[in-house]
Amino acid sequence: MVAHNDAQLKRSVAMREHLSRFHEYTLQLDVPGNVPADSLAMHPAFTDRSARMEAIIKLIREMTGVEQKLLHSRAQSRDGYMQKTYKYKWIIMMVAVVFLSSAFILLDREIRRNKRYGIDLERTIDNLNRSNSELEQFVYVASHDLQEPLRKIRSFSDRTISKYRNALPEDVYHMLSKIDESSRRMQLLIQDLLSFSRIVNKGTHPEGLDLNTALLQAQSNLSEMITEHGAIIESENLPAIQGYPSQMEQLFQNLLSNSVKYHKHGGKPQIKITYELVQGEVIPKIKPSHTDLHFHLIKVSDNGIGFRKEFAEKIFVIFQRLHDRNEFAGTGIGLAICKRIVSNHNGYIFADSPDGGGANFCIYLPA
């Protein structure tokens, strides 16, 4: 109890000294006959013992006084400390309350914003779906109903030519032929638009399919064209994917026929199909959410006439053509259909044409 206080320690040492002497004296005096009863008060042991006793009492008083003072000051400091703690408690509590409430407000705001965002998203999806199905309907109906009058124009001009061929002046015949030619071209455009609009995934689910089979099927569909031009087609082993078999077949068919069609004059078309598995981040302009995925890269390369670099994106736009109609026939739907098919499979398609000629089509399909 006094170990921490030097003054008190000294006092307690002194007190121990007094006490032991007191004890000694008491033992001396207690032995019967050692000290005669009448001379007890005069005996040095007795007087000294009394003096010791007083000293002890004094010491105890001093020590008690000191301890009480200490106790008092400690109690005071404790009170002060408690008061301070109390204050700190309040401050901490206030801070906590402020912190919690601001967190709550922030959270609430975030949740509200999230909810609003969700509603917006839902509305956008609704709008998108509606405009999509309206567009599909529009294209379908338009192409159907547009075909009707066109068929009539062709049929009647056709019949006029065939029935009155000999009676017609040359320029009338020429003009009627122009009507027939233009309406035939418009028919082609409408039919292509219709086939483009039919490439949708509505109501069907993707299934497991082997791309080798799709490629073989496409080749057999084009066998006449391939034989006619002496085209050589080489392919690496292709993977199996989840998708729509008829669409994949059409994709290969359009790419192959494109390569055969735009071969170099006087040369034989050579088409190479290679395959590798790549990480999403190598794909240019990939959606951020796709970067971590793996993709099958199927590359179709030919030795044809190629195209100028600035047309690399334009060639996928519907009815965009890079050549004169007299040079190469067609409406310009083939690659637009390819792009749509690849988009239907959540993939990417790019075209490039190296300086030496030829064209490369890179198709990325999610693995």
Query: Which range, of 50-58, 109-117, 146-154, 268-276, touches other proteins by CB under 8 A?
Result: 146-154
Does the footprint of other proteins cover residue 154 (CB under 8 A)? yes
CA distances from 86 to 71, 73, 80, 81, 83 (A): 22, 19, 10, 8, 5
Contact between 136 and other proteins per CB under 8 A: no
Should residue 182 be labelled a site residue for other proteins when binding is judged by CB under 8 A? no
Judged by beta carbon, residue 176 or residue 233, the one nearer other proteins is 176
213 binds other proteins (CB under 8 A): no
364 C-beta neighbours (distance < 10 Å), count:
26
Listed in sequence order, the residues at least 6 apart from 291 whose beta carbon sits closer than 8 Å to its beta carbon are 279, 280, 281
What is the DSSP code (8-state) at residue 290? G
Residue 159 within binding range of other proteins, rule CB under 8 A: yes
Residues 6+ apart with CB under 8 A from 248: 209, 211, 214, 241, 341, 345
Residue 85 in the binding site for other proteins (CB under 8 A): no
Virtual torsion, Cα 109, 114, 119, 120, nearest 10 deg: 100
Encoded amino acid at 32, one letter: P
Which strand (E) or helix (H) includes residue 41?
A: none
Interface stretch with other proteins, choices 121-129, 140-148, 260-268, 326-334 (CB under 8 A): 140-148
- Binding of residue 165 to other proteins (CB under 8 A): no
Quick one: CA dihedral 29, 35, 37, 42, positive or negative?
A: negative
Is residue 178 close enough to count as binding other proteins by CB under 8 A?
Answer: no
Q: Output the smallest distance, CB 111 to other proteins, in A.
A: 46
Q: What percent of the residues of the chain are helix, what percent strand, and what percent coil, each to the nearest 5?
A: 65, 10, 25
From 69, 84, 113, 151, residue interacting with other proteins (rule: CB under 8 A): 151
Please report where in the chains the tokens 């080489």 appear, as a residue: 234
Query: Does the protein bind other proteins through residue 185 (CB under 8 A)?
Result: no
Single out the residue of 182, 187, 212, 346 in contact with other proteins (rule: CB under 8 A): 187
Tokens coding 348: 């990417």
> Given candidates 24, 67, 158, 210, which one binds other proteins under the rule CB under 8 A?
158
302 binds other proteins (CB under 8 A): no
Residue 287 makes contact with other proteins by CB under 8 A: no
Binding site for other proteins (CB under 8 A): 144, 147-148, 150-152, 154-156, 158-159, 162, 180, 184, 187
